[in-house]
Structure 1
Amino acid sequence: MTTGEPLERDTDYMVPALQRGLSILQMFGARQRSLGMTEIAERLGVSVSALYRIVHTLCEMGYLRKFGKNNYELGPQVVSDGFSYLTSRDLVDIGLPHLNALRDRTSLSCHLSIREQTDSLYLYRAFAAQRLSVNIPIGTRIPCHCTAMGRMLLTGLSEAELDSLYQHVRLDDYPPPAPKTLPELRQLIAGDRERGWVLHRSDYSTAIACVIRNHLGAVVAAINLSGPEAVMDNSGARDSYREALQQCARDISRELGAPSVD
């Protein structure tokens, strides 16, 4: 680079409105639980009118809560997001060595997912380095009713909660063996809950899944073993894989403080 050539600054890519919004959230803490609009504007060195739409947006999204005439405090979404992140990290940190060990013991891929509304969100994978391995990337979202892990995640809901979650969701756009109607889904999940595990076949692969429970005994995640149908086709082998998977789930749940794991 020649002398005198202008440097491209990282700040050139910053979004001022986003920067201000995050700066507002950072103002709150144990020593500063509430702030007025004027005080927020003074701290940022801008006018109240310049902040109005940003603060309104934060309130609408639940990150701020307005009280009184013109005062604000952190909203429930901040706490919700924080706990969701910590819970996800705890699950991955605790589950990682167990899933890696299960992968090494079975030579099959293992995955861990949580439920976000009607999706199963993949948080971790222990990839089996062999031909025809099942390899679903971290961050993938798949509708719960279409996968073994997703169905097990739904077993943590009551029938009323399941009905409410799927009240306005179309199920008939998905290929078999996914259920086509809410009554069919309700019946399927009831059977999964009673059995305690799910075996799901798709094109050229088979997955077995069961749940992870927390200190309250609630379903917080699911794990699976998945591999090519040629490997999973033997019933004796499937039983052995299922038992290993269930033991892994018990071990992870125990570390999360589950009082008793079936």
Structure 2
Amino acid sequence: MALPTDVPSDPSRSVSSRVFALLNAFTPDSPALRLVDLQAATGLPVSTVHRIAAELVELGALEKDRDGYYRIGLRMWELGSLCPQPRTLRDVSLPFMHDLYEATSENIHLAVLDGDDVLYVERVWGARSVDVASLVGGRYPLHATGVGKVLLSYSSQQFQESVLRAGLKRYTPHTIIMPGMLMRALSDVRKTGIARCIEELTLGTVSVAVPIFAPDRRVVAALSVVMHTRARSLAGVEPALRLAASSITRELAKGYDETYHERGFKRDGREVRRS
């Protein structure tokens, strides 16, 4: 089935770019959008948005409810589950994330660097965990999260400077927004191998995070524990967190071969939520 090609307002945009512009309008904060919302987010003509959305509903990439709201369809979830790196990373990490949850009863997050953001690829939590806003598939700032500080600290100087040039948004009174202070914090993360983020993204929560390494010693992800600021001493959580991350690093090395970057690991992933 051919996708629509008539967008006279901007002939330079390809069909695929229009489709992705529409799909990218959906975010964790806006999982359901009306036609007018999609038009505003994409800047495409209403007729074109309506035609693309109808095609995607028919293909299963979008769903439309009786109230006229569109949502991401199951077909997109099926395709997303085939992405090798997060699927592999999650599969290797989940057993150790469960162990870490059992040891702490707190939120356990697994995140990777994607563009200029932190992308959460897995989370394990339960009834005893502090309520947090993080979602699997959600994007969050690098400078105001524990996992973000880890990923940023092990990134190139050029990338770090680009993040600083983009500006550091304040989320709470405790968010580090001064470039010099952030760079000193990143230096400390490199020296100690752990990031501590106290009420920088959300008041009342503290995050501690550590890196996960590939066999070539690149940092490929970060693992964190997020808990209430009054929950417990960080000293009681950090050893368990470091052990979990080192165990994941070790397991990743077992599945490594020369085609890792092209194929990833040959393992199946799965979604897990603690009750």
Q: Same fold (TM over 0.5)?
A: yes
SS at match of 2:134: coil
Gaps of 5+ in 1: 1-13, 19-51, 59-81
CA distance in 2, matches of 1:181, 1:168: 11
In the alignment, which residue of structure 2 is the partner of 1:218? 218
Kindly provide the CA deviation profile for residues 219-238 of structure 1, in whole angstroms up to 9, marking residues without a partner as x.
11111111112213x3xxx2
In the alignment, which residue of structure 2 is the partner of 1:36? none
In the alignment, which residue of structure 2 is the partner of 1:250? 246
In the alignment, which residue of structure 2 is the partner of 1:160? 158
CA contact (8 A) 1:119 1:144 kept: yes
TM-score by length of 1: 0.62
Seen in structure 2, the aligned counterparts of structure 1 residues 257 and 107 have a Cα distance that, compared at 3 Å, is: same
The one-letter amino acid paired with 2:216 is L
After TM superposition, list the pairs within 5 Å mapping 1:222-237 onto structure 2: 222-232=222-232, 234=233
In the alignment, which residue of structure 2 is the partner of 1:175? 172
Number of residue pairs aligned between Structure 1 and Structure 2: 186
SS at match of 1:145: coil
Seen in structure 2, the aligned counterparts of structure 1 residues 151 and 15 have a Cα distance that, compared at 3 Å, is: farther
In the alignment, which residue of structure 1 is the partner of 2:208? 208
Higher RCO (C-alpha under 8 Å, 6+ residues apart) = 2
* Aligned-residue offset at 1:174: 4.2
SS at match of 1:192: helix
CA distance in 2, matches of 1:143, 1:198: 14
CA distance in 1, matches of 2:93, 2:218: 16
Kindly provide the CA deviation profile for residues 22-51 of structure 1, in whole angstroms up to 9, marking residues without a partner as x.
xxxxxxxxxxxxxxxxxxxxxxxxxxxxxx
TM-score by length of 2: 0.60
After TM superposition, list the pairs within 5 Å mapping 1:1-262 onto structure 2: 16-17=3-4, 54=14, 85-130=83-128, 132-134=130-132, 136-163=134-161, 165-166=162-163, 168-202=165-199, 203-232=203-232, 234=233, 238-257=234-253
The one-letter amino acid paired with 2:196 is L
1 or 2, which has the higher helix percentage? 1
CA contact (8 A) 1:146 1:177 kept: no
* Aligned-residue offset at 1:201: 1.5
Seen in structure 2, the aligned counterparts of structure 1 residues 15 and 207 have a Cα distance that, compared at 3 Å, is: farther
In the alignment, which residue of structure 2 is the partner of 1:48? none
RMSD: 3.1
CA distance in 1, matches of 2:14, 2:131: 47
